[in-house]
Amino acid sequence: MNIEELEQEQLRLSKQLDIPQDDVGYFPRKGDILFSFDVQYASELAHVAIDVQEWQGEMLGTFVQKHEIPATYVPSFFAFREGPVLLKTYESLLKEKSFQPDLLLGDGHGLAHPRRFGVACWLGLKANLPTLGCAKQTLLKFEGHIADTRGSSLEIRTNNEILGLVVRTQDKTKPVYVSAGHKISLSNAVKVVLELSSRYRIMEPIRRADQAARAFAKGDLPEGWGPPMHLG
C-alpha cells in the first residue's frame, strides 16, 4: 500500500473501535491475565517479547519469538510494521500455553494518533480484546503544564476531543502518553498504568517485556516460553 492507502485503511479501521466512556467498560479484576508487549529490532528481524502476569497477582512468565519485519518504518504508520509481528507472537503464545488474556498492554499509542489509530488500536481490534497504549513520546501536540507529582495528568486534545492523557507516573520524572486502544476507557487505562507503575516511569510488565526482547535480540535468551524477567 502507498501512504494514501495506508491513511484510508487507518481511518476505515478506526471506525470499528469500541472506546467506552470514562469509568465505563472493562477494568481488570484480581486474577485477570495481562499480556504486555515489546519489540527490539536486530539483523532485519523483529524480536518480540510478551510478559504475562496476573492483575494483582503472580508474574507468570515471558514468551519471545522472532519474525521478519513486514514493512519499513514510516512515522505514524507504525501499526503496519509492528502490529503483524505482535499478533503472530500473540497467536503463537496462545497455541503453546493455555492462557486466556483479558487485557493487552502496548508500548505505543492508541487513539492519541493523527488518525486515531495507533498500534494499540490495531492489536486490540485484531485480538478483539481490551487494549491500551502507553508511549514514551507523543505524536500529537498538547498545551499546558503538568504538575511534578505522581498521578498528575494533562489532556491531549484534537478538535476539542480528548484522545489521550499526558501522565506523570513518578514524582519529577518524564511523563508517559496514555490512550485507549480498544474496549477500555481512557480513565480506566490511566488507572491501570498508574497501578502497574509503582516503582518506575514505565509500567513494570512493559519493562520486563523490554528486557526480555533485548536479551533475546542479543542471543542471551532462548526462543519460546520462560520465567519472567526480574527488574533490578
In a domain, 163, yes or no: no
Q: What is the CA radius of gyration of the chain?
A: 17
The answer on pLDDT for 214 being more than 90 is yes
pLDDT confidence of 106, banded at 50, 70, 90? very high
Handedness of CA 172, 176, 179, 183 (dihedral sign): negative
Q: What is the pLDDT of residue 43?
A: 83
In a domain, 145, yes or no: no
Q: Over the stretch 170-201, which tens digit does the pLDDT of each residue have?
A: 999 999 999 999 999 999 999 999 999 999 99
| Average pLDDT of the residues of the chain | 95
In a domain, 146, yes or no: no
The answer on pLDDT for 104 being more than 90 is yes
CA distance 194 to 175: 11
Helix (H/G/I), strand (E/B), else coil: 47: strand
Q: What is the pLDDT of residue 71?
A: 77
The answer on pLDDT for 1 being more than 70 is no
The answer on pLDDT for 73 being more than 90 is no
Average pLDDT over residues 67-87: 88
Give 89's contacts (C-beta < 8 A, 6+ positions apart): 37, 48, 50, 63, 64, 65, 67
- Domain span at residue 190 reads 3-139+180-226
In a domain, 95, yes or no: yes
What percentage of the chain reaches a pLDDT higher than 70?
99
Q: What is the pLDDT of residue 40?
A: 97
CA distance 150 to 82: 30
In a domain, 155, yes or no: no
Write down the residue that cell numbers 470499528 correspond to: 16
Q: Tell me, what CATH number does 95's domain have?
A: 3.30.2170.10
Number of domains present in the structure of the chain = 1
Pairing of strands 161-167, 153-158: antiparallel
Average pLDDT over residues 91-104: 97
